[in-house]
Amino acid sequence: MVATSAMQRVIDDLQPDDIYFLGDAVGKGPQSRETCDWVRAHCPHVIGGNWDYGVGNREYPADQYYWDQLGEERLSYLASLPREDEVTLSGVRFRLFHGRPVTPLLRVTEDKAVLEPLFHTERGDFGGVIFADSHRPFFRTLDCGYIMNTGSVGNSMGVPKAHALLLEGTPGEDVHPLFTTVLSIPYDNALAAEIARQDVSLPRGETFVHEVLTGIYSR
């Protein structure tokens, strides 16, 4: 929630026309309830991620902590989230999803043969793919289009800052310039870690603290 507050300040400054949240509103950290409520209040478009479905559907008994924290109404909301969305900007049709469970975990180093099929679905072809899941922002071009990762607001790997993507373009199929910016936002990692340390019931709390402070995957 500390990183979400940092992102809120950026949203207030930029005043985007629309906000797409690409999954994992809950899990890992101690403030799933607050983060879930923030997403619902501020993001018109929300896609489910593997943590959302796992917790929302009560798939893993080890997540009892999150079930108790969130309550039945939030769990039902998480379980019902759509798996995909799309948006067309400046003539580029973007496919939006979290990653898992739509695909296996995807990384920036994936071979073209793994990434290219993501642009072609039963709903047609896409000129861009935007996803999250691996918690590392990146931008790549392939012969079939652009592929981007949003990074993570509160649990980024690599550089431990809050990350998101800002796309600036003209809505619709007409071709216009399109600008893509990776937002890299410092936040109080030490405070986020301390909040986690104070919650002695948090599952794998020390691994979460290490990730928040270092950006190194610790599970």
Q: How far apart are the first and last CA of the chain?
A: 21
In a domain, 203, yes or no: no
* pLDDT tens digits along 205-217: 999 999 999 999 9
Q: CB 101: neighbour CB atoms within 10 A?
A: 15
In a domain, 140, yes or no: yes
**pLDDT on residue 99:** 98
Are residues 16 and 83 in contact, defined by beta-carbon separation less than 8 angstroms? no
The residue ranges of the chain whose pLDDT is under 70 are none
**pLDDT on residue 106:** 96
**pLDDT on residue 144:** 96
In a domain, 195, yes or no: no
In a domain, 114, yes or no: yes
Domain count, the chain: 1
**pLDDT on residue 219:** 83
In a domain, 207, yes or no: no
What is the per-residue burial (b if ≥16 Cβ within 10 Å, else e) of 209-218? Answer: bbbbeebeee
In a domain, 111, yes or no: yes
CATH number, position 150? 3.60.21.10
* pLDDT tens digits along 119-160: 999 999 999 999 999 999 999 999 999 999 999 999 999 999
Predicted TM-score of the model (pTM): 0.96
Quote the domain boundaries for residue 51: 2-187
In a domain, 31, yes or no: yes
In a domain, 196, yes or no: no
